Amino acid sequence: MRKESILNGMKASMPIMASYLGLGIACGIVLYDAGFNVLAIFLMSSLVYAGAAQFLAGSMIALGATVPSIILMVFFLNLRHVLMSASIAKYVKKKPLSYLSIFSHTLSDESFGINYSKFQKDDWTTNEALFTNLFNYSAWVVSTVLGGIIGSQVTINTLIMNYALIAMFLCMMVLQFVSKEHIIAGVVAVVLSVLLTILLKHNIALVLATIIASFVGYYIENRTVEKGVRIDD
């Protein structure tokens, strides 16, 4: 059973691991250019493990931002993990603290997307979910370290990785469209992201859009459950 869980977790993780290879290398290069050595990149990826936040921190450090402002931006950027954890907690809440500690630390946007959609199909175990997290986590750490090594040897333009990041998240977003409630929340998030970015002219707009859209989806789902009819029925 353990071997089967490992294989299923690896199979589910392979598309994300492939995307992490390019993105992780790019992140490692960005961090190296910002002044991190290879060991520091390894420690940051291992202990922080937040792809977008690591890109943001590297860029802000390169621009000479203060430590408090970097910490504050990373904090707001990662607030979405509270919502993700709350959504997936019901599937793993009976597991011991040791399991929850590892699972929560290795949970990412992509791992959440895979595990949440598979848990809803009732054929996904908590061990398979954990191995999915671990494979993605390992791929990210190795890729960023590799990027740091490459960055120390050659100069590479990482602009193309911006498009790879967008493509990966579009793929993950489409996989979440399992009901009309999810589609509505996704549309709200897109519209609010554009409007708030124009109004606020700050990256915090994306965080606010995500939080508001999540509450909209939660509200709609609760209303349909109370009425006993789902939107997609």
Alpha-helix runs per DSSP H in the chain? 2-33, 38-47, 51-62, 67-77, 80-92, 97-105, 109-119, 126-153, 160-175, 180-200, 204-227
Residues 92 and 159 in one domain: yes
Angle at the Cα of 153 from the Cα atoms of 148 and 157, rounded to 5 degrees: 75
Residues 114 and 201 in one domain: no
Which of 153, 172, 191 is the last residue before a domain boundary?
172
Residue-number span of the structural domain to which 10 is assigned: 2-172
Residues 64 and 145 in one domain: yes
Residue 63 is classified by DSSP as T
Distance CA 13, CA 32 (A): 27
- Contact indicator for 143, 21 with CB cutoff of 8 Å: yes
Distance CA 91, CA 120 (A): 9
Residues 70 and 128 in one domain: yes
Residues 87 and 44 in one domain: yes
Residues 19 and 124 in one domain: yes
Residue 95 is classified by DSSP as S
Residues 139 and 107 in one domain: yes
Distance CA 82, CA 86 (A): 6
Residues 163 and 210 in one domain: no
Per-residue pLDDT of the chain (233 residues; tens, 9 = 90+): 578 889 999 999 998 898 888 888 888 988 898 889 999 999 999 998 988 788 878 877 877 778 887 887 788 777 778 878 888 988 998 899 999 999 999 998 889 889 988 888 778 999 999 999 999 999 999 999 999 999 888 876 656 655 655 665 666 566 666 677 778 888 888 899 899 889 888 767 777 887 888 788 878 877 776 665 544 44
The tokens for 183 are 């589609």
> Distance from CA of residue 166 to its chain's centroid?
12
Q: What is the pLDDT of residue 144?
A: 95
Distance CA 96, CA 78 (A): 25
Total domains in the fold of the chain: 2
Residues 188 and 150 in one domain: no
Residues 65 and 92 in one domain: yes
Backbone angles phi, psi at 47, to 5 degrees: -95, -35
DSSP run (H or E) holding 124: none
- Contact indicator for 220, 184 with CB cutoff of 8 Å: yes
Residues 232 and 141 in one domain: no
What do you get for the CA distance between the two ends of the chain, in Å? 37
Distance CA 172, CA 164 (A): 12
Residues 128 and 213 in one domain: no
- Contact indicator for 80, 185 with CB cutoff of 8 Å: no
